[in-house]
Structure 1
């Protein structure tokens, strides 16, 4: 992971174990963990909104959200202006989300991929830069 990046992370109960595994790969001084802190049933918006707010405000550079399907956290995060949360279930999608869509939050579907695949997706997401150019024009048309 790039030195100096500040990462926001959050998960619901279905994503808790994945979040814990992903934490091991991110230096503590680069991380802001918004929970959840157990696998007890919780509501995903309670974690998606703080992660999205941290990225939206610039407190954090990028974010990771994990829930069972990734749909709930992605829908919630994308309610925030300036957030482009992308559901990624393989490395290629993570690279395209960053390079073409300038995604700033990666959403992981814990019930559909392995923890090892989730780690690869996050690494690919963090390692990829936005290409700009024609993609910047398109990204510029997203906000309402």
Structure 2
């Protein structure tokens, strides 16, 4: 399984922790994240290539990290085939996969610790989509309504 990962400066330590953990578990990693220390950077510059890689089917899942996780999720969700979920605990990770078939997990670096982040990633990657009634809802996510504004 191939995992794409991208992060800004706030997620750099978690990115390395996650990369090392996943490599030990046998995953292949494509790292689009920031890799220097001490400099503030713009999260879209690292999230766009991560989301694009998943969107093109070159990775099975993506992991994105920024301070709140919100900006990263918003950026990733601009891609047609992406369903990025902001996740801060294991229950949300389970529901993001089971009910929403999320293919990218967005982690808030300022609100989780190292042990929790590994638990969240593990659960996210091991949880399967339930399908059924949730499949119908997921298909509606990308449906563009003719009455949409903006």
**TM-score, with structure 1 as normaliser:** 0.94
Q: Deviations over 1:46-73 (max 9, x none)?
A: 1111111011000001000011100110
> Residues of 2 paired with 1:52 and 1:9: CA distance?
9
> Residues of 2 paired with 1:92 and 1:60: CA distance?
24
Return the offset for 1:29.
Answer: 6.0
Matched position secondary structure for 2:96 = helix
**TM-score, with structure 2 as normaliser:** 0.91
Matched, 1:21 2:30: no
Return the offset for 1:118.
Answer: 0.7
Paired residues in the alignment total 140
Which runs of 5 or more structure 1 residues have no equivalent in the other structure? Answer: none
Q: How does 1:30-45 map to 2 (within 5 A)?
A: 30-39=28-37, 40-45=39-44
Is contact 2:3-2:27 (8 Å) kept?
no
Q: Hey, which bits of structure 1, 4+ residues long, moved more than 4 A?
A: none
Structure 1 partner of 2:48: 49
Q: How does 1:1-144 map to 2 (within 5 A)?
A: 5-27=1-23, 30-39=28-37, 40-143=39-142, 144=144
> Residues of 2 paired with 1:106 and 1:117: CA distance?
14
> Residues of 1 paired with 2:27 and 2:68: CA distance?
29
Return the offset for 1:26.
Answer: 1.3
CA RMSD of aligned residues (A): 1.0
> Residues of 1 paired with 2:27 and 2:65: CA distance?
21
